[in-house]
Amino acid sequence: MQLTRIVRRSYAVPLVLAPALLVAACGSGGTTDTASGPDTADSLTIAVAKDSGPLNIFAGQTDQMTELVYDKLLSPSPYVADPQPWLATDVRQVDATTWDVDLREDVTWHDGEAFTADDVVFSFHYMHAAPTGRYTHHVNDTPSISTVETTGENSVRFVCDYACPELGPVTLADLPIIPEHVWSKVDPSKAKEMTDLPVGTGPFKLVDYSPTSGYRFEANADYFAGTPTVEELVMPVIADNAAAFTALSSGQIDAADRALTPELVDRFTASNDIGVVTVAPLSYPELKLNFTRDTFAQADFRAALNLAVDRDELLEVVGLGQGRPGTQGYVHPDAPFADPDASTPYDAARASAMLDELGWADRDGDGRRENPAGEPTVFDLIVNGGNAPQVRAAELLAEDFAEVGVAVAVKPLDSGSLSDASSNKTYDMMVTTNSPHAVADSTQFIMSHRSGNLWKHPDLVYPEFDALYDAWKVTETNDARIAAMQDMQKLFNRQPTAIALYYPDEFWAFRADTFGGWIETPGYGIVHKWSFLPADVVETANAEAPQD
């Protein structure tokens, strides 16, 4: 397989990205158990944590599953510093608002139809019209794509409403391409209702799905990048972690789509039958502060809480020391746009002084501060009661805040109630998990401020961010845009609405006697398409995280 690298024609400063995959360099990388296995397999059984339906990408499905079926113009993702052409052969920035893309000519859809430039144009227009959620901002706002049109039989031009130097390395590396001959029959307003099995160009075809039995994929023998190394993937739904890892230990499954729980790492690493790969995931537990409530709308109050969090203790107690404390703040330190100098220190004394300055004082001597009006105040901290590590994190946070006189009551909820509280913002504080898309995709960082996740409320102003956003919006090169975004990161870390707790390492286990082709790609663990493609294909795609 031959793919050309991205060509960046500069009109000012060249678009320069690091020449190698750097995002996992700060993590552990590598393997804790060098147990090896066959490079190919007739069939693998992999437990998945939830029923995601028939993999309709407009219904909020997991990237790892859908990318078995679909491909993107660049690979492997926006979470690497140098994504490479995939369905494209050449991607180049023409000027501040324009990108040209040349496409492969040897690609077919799973149903035998030829992949064309019209499919690419259709995909972006359809995502513009559909209520996609996961992908909407990539075409409607950040960036805002005004025109997508064919410029030849196998070429497409993208034009943005304002400068979009990240359209290539972020947007084109994130959006799956869908077949026009299938989706043109579906009204975009009803995209989420599609229940047919998906048709893609990817290395696997979803040939069977059932809410009870799960998923069965067959290798795409005509895959343009090379024949997959596994002929069949069987994916039953095993939601319970204990059940999934028991099935792995006994040989009933070959892998699971999730990391080991920390207490199982030593046991599985010691097994002769199990291989364990250590990865640095682009996700972490976070504390969200409801900035729509008056107290948390105050930047200095949020800053005081941020200073009160002992992230080293959280890592040691909850993460069992497996990872890094969350001292670089909201943007994951392994993200391509992360500020390497970002810092969110632990300083309880400074937190107390700031609360004093805000008029929060312990007037009755009970160890708890009253609000500036002299009223006793206890904040609720909600958490998924079924997630023991997050409940423990919430308890430690309550202790940290008690140290500076802020009373917090931990309230475990079931997952449905937690989701409702999150959506409706009916909470004071909430412990949850951040995703790679949220903390390692530079355009999502912007959108999170504009969508209501990290900010945006009709009654609240944020002039400091607005000024930085205006400066970001006029940058015309990727380097300048990243520098502007790092200024935003510094501002956010000073007065966050979401506080990083710790950046965990993850340990993924597999049956070493059945298959040994597992690799880490940033943000996806080891269960993804790149584990099932030939090594030279993976290398060309720049998909494997470097080993320490």
Nearest of 503, 511, 22, 476 to residue 284 by alpha carbon: 503
- State the pLDDT at residue 460: 81
Q: Which H/E stretch holds residue 242?
A: helix 241-250
As a whole-number percent, the residues of the chain with pLDDT over 90 amount to: 84
Task: Answer yes or no: is pLDDT of 459 > 80.
Answer: no
The lowest-confidence range among 16-25, 44-53, 308-317, 326-335 is 16-25
Mean pLDDT of 404-419: 96
Summarize pLDDT for 437-450 with one digit per residue, the tens: 999 999 999 999 98
Angle value at C-alpha 417, between 411 and 419, nearest 5 degrees = 105
The amino acid occupying position 538 is V
Q: Is 0.85 surpassed by the pTM of this model? A: yes
Question: Does the pLDDT of residue 163 top 70, yes or no?
Answer: yes
Rounded Cα distance, 420 and 422, in Å: 5
Set out the domains of the chain in order of their start, with CATH numbers: 284-504 (3.10.105.10)
pLDDT band at 262 (very low <50, low <70, confident <90, very high): confident
Query: What is the C-alpha R_g of the chain?
Result: 24
Mean pLDDT of 70-91: 96
DSSP state string for 136-199:
THHHHTSSBEEEEEEEETTEEEEEESS--TTIIIIITTTPBP--HHHHTTS-GGGGGG--SPP-
CB 255 within 8 A of CB 510: yes
| Average pLDDT over the chain, rounded to an integer | 90
Question: Which pLDDT tens digit goes with each residue over 82-134?
Answer: 999 999 999 999 999 999 999 999 999 999 999 999 999 999 999 989 877 67
Whether the per-residue pLDDT at 56 is higher than 90: the answer is yes
Query: Are 526 and 258 a contacting pair, CB within 8 Å?
Result: no
Query: In the predicted model, is pLDDT for residue 481 greater than 70?
Result: yes
